[in-house]
Structures are given as structure tokens and as C-alpha cells.
Amino acid sequence: MFRLAAILTVVLAASVAAQSRQAPRQTPQAQPPRPAAARPAGADSREATARRLCSQCHPFEFVIGVSRTREQWETVVENMVSRGARGTRTELAAVIDYLSDTHVLKPSTVRGGSGPDDKPIVDPKAAEAAKPLYAEKCTACHGPDARGTAQGPNLVRSLVVLHDRYGDHLGQYLRATHPRAGKAGAPSGSPFEGLSNREILLLSNFLRDRINDTLRGAPMFKPGNVLVGDAKAGEAYFHGDGGCAQCHSPTGDLAGIGKRMEPVNLQQRFLFPQGGGGRGRGAAKPVTVTVTTESGETLSGALERMDDFNVSFRDASGNYRTVRRTPATKVVKNDPLAAHAAMLPRITDKNIHDVVAYLETLK
């Protein structure tokens, strides 16, 4: 809270000064937050404050659709202020307390450890709340697990879903682009154009949860036989359209890999390699970032963590640096494994199985 208080002191100076001219300044008394359960529904004045301040820019339901840890709520409010929201320090502190009391996400409930640091996280309650809506709107075409049917594609592999962050891509697609199912002559337009922001956010959590089901370590994950491809076709893809041979060699770094790793691990490793990612540790070529701050200062180093609000890295001297991301902050990420990420949108299931079959022959 020290960092937040310092920033709010500067950003809200004009607002506080204006209020001080209208009434004597009072020193707020520190009071321990009471448990949310102790307050009757609708009786929390902090909720009214949160609704008023947050609704300056967007519906309040969009804010509370995904729970967060207290530290994340502090960052959200800090970012909100940097984008123009106005309120006194006491009001903003009340907003943080309210959101932290009533919409807190405990780290132990977060699923999906794989992926980048800034990947969307799932609020289990939001994913659960979306089930009736998904069953009504989506199950008939996409199946109960979102893996697709004869009437609709696999949403776990959908680029719209994979690129989505808390409804930003999904909402636009559902409201404006999704085709209308049914017979010829049906009304034009998307059948989802009337969905609210909250409903979009719930569906986003539900679909991200289905993606997490596919990750190793998830309760529903069951490794199957992935050795079903054509090794010759995999070799052609490796040296051709896949571009794998530009960085890897079957007689060099990949020599004997089929003997060292099981097929399911081969598939996981080449689709989601870990060697150059993560926090910049344990890799010959770590992920690096170049950051240009609002003042024009350029900083660079090995990436430690990056999300929607901050980017942290270690500079050439080993010093840990954190820069808050604002609309004027420029961040360039240099990932030695970027080619693997770029491959994901275009590689087909057949390509994947063919490459695994080829890699398995490298013994």
C-alpha cells in the first residue's frame, strides 16, 4: 500500500485540494475491515463508492466479474487512477478494502500453472456460474466440454478463445461475428448480440477453464496415445513448412531425443518449450525486454515477470527493476522461443502428430 499511497498522493492532489477548500480537512481514522459476512446485503457504503468510481469508465459488473488477490486489486485501482478515475484517498482505500473483502481470489484456487506470466487466470466461481449460460447457448453445437461436435468446432483450439483476455476478443466475436445457427432464412445477425458484459466475462472464464483442463496436472487430464502420425510427413514438415530445421538439427541438439522422452512429453515440449521462457532463469538465451518509460528513458534486461500492469526484469548489473505499464510505456519482448509461439495458430492437429511421430524416430 505504500506504493499506492504515494501515487495517489500525486494523482489526486487537485481533488483533495478542492475538497479541502470546501470543508475542514479531517484525518481518517484507521479501522480494521470487518468481514463481509457481518454486513447486511446492500448495506455496505463501500460498495456504493466502488460502483460510483468504477462506473466512470465501464460497467461495475465488468470489474467484479473476475476475483483477484488483494495485491491485484491494489494494482487495478492504481491503474484505474492513472487512466483518469477520480476520488479521494479515503474513497479509493475503501474501494480496495471492499473488493478485497468481497471479491478476493485466493492464490490456492488458481488453476493453470503452464503458460506465460501474464496469462488470464480463472475465477472458479465465475466459471461455475457460467455453466447454465453455456449449457443454454453453446452445448448443442460445441459439446459440454467445449471440444466440439458435428455441429460446431472445438473451442479449446479456437484462436478467438486462445487470444481472449477476460472477454475482450470473445465479446466482440459473439456479439458481431458469430454466425446464426439454424435453417436458411433465419434472422441475420449474431444470436449473441444481446449478451451483457457480465455474461461475456463468465463465458470467458468457463472457456479458459476448459483450456486448463487440457494441461498436464489438471484433474481431467488423461494422457492418450499421441503416436498416431506419419513420421515421413513429420520429417517433411520439420524441414519445410514448420521451419523447425532453422534452429534445430536431428543429428545435433535433437539427436537421441526419441530415446530420452516419451511421445506425450515430446509433444508438450515442442509445442510449449520451457527452456528460454519463464523468469529468465535457467536458460542459455533468456527472454529479454526493452522498456521505454513515459519520460523517454530506455531500460533493458532479462525478463522476470510481465502482466497487464507491471514489467519486472534484471538489468546487466543484476539489479531487479520494475516499471509500471501505462498507455505511454513501450515494452518490446525478445523471446528466443517466439517461433514456437508463432507456430501455434497455424499448425494443424495432423502436423502435430506427424512431428511427434518423426521426433520419436530420432534414437
- pLDDT for 268 equals 83
Asked if residues 293 and 301 have their Cβ atoms less than 8 Å apart, the reply is: no
- pLDDT for 111 equals 52
Cell 483533495 sits on residue:
16
Q: Where are the alpha helices (DSSP H) in 246-348?
A: 257-260, 263-271, 338-343
**pTM, 2 dp:** 0.54
- pLDDT for 36 equals 39
Cross-strand partners of 292: 298, 330
Tens place of pLDDT for every residue, the chain, 363 residues? 444 444 434 333 333 333 333 334 343 343 444 443 444 444 589 999 999 998 888 788 778 867 777 877 888 888 788 878 889 999 999 999 999 888 876 644 555 455 555 677 788 888 999 999 999 999 999 999 999 999 999 999 898 998 898 888 999 999 988 987 654 554 566 778 889 888 998 899 999 999 888 776 666 677 778 899 999 999 999 999 999 999 999 999 999 999 999 998 898 888 878 654 333 334 457 889 999 999 999 999 999 888 778 899 999 999 999 999 998 999 999 988 888 888 888 898 899 999 999 999 999
**Element (DSSP H or E) covering residue 332:** strand 330-334
- CA dist., res. 162 & res. 131, Å (int): 19
- CA dist., res. 1 & res. 289, Å (int): 27
Asked if residues 301 and 331 have their Cβ atoms less than 8 Å apart, the reply is: no
Q: What is the 3-state secondary structure (H, E, C) of 30-56?
A: CCCCCCHHHCCCCCCHHHHHHHHHHCC
Cross-strand partners of 314: 302, 320
Eight-class DSSP state of 309: S
DSSP annotation string for 97-143: HHHHHHSB--GGG----SS-TTPPPP-HHHHHHTHHHHHHHTHHHH-
Angle at 147 between CA 145 and CA 153, to 5 degrees: 135
- CA dist., res. 11 & res. 14, Å (int): 8
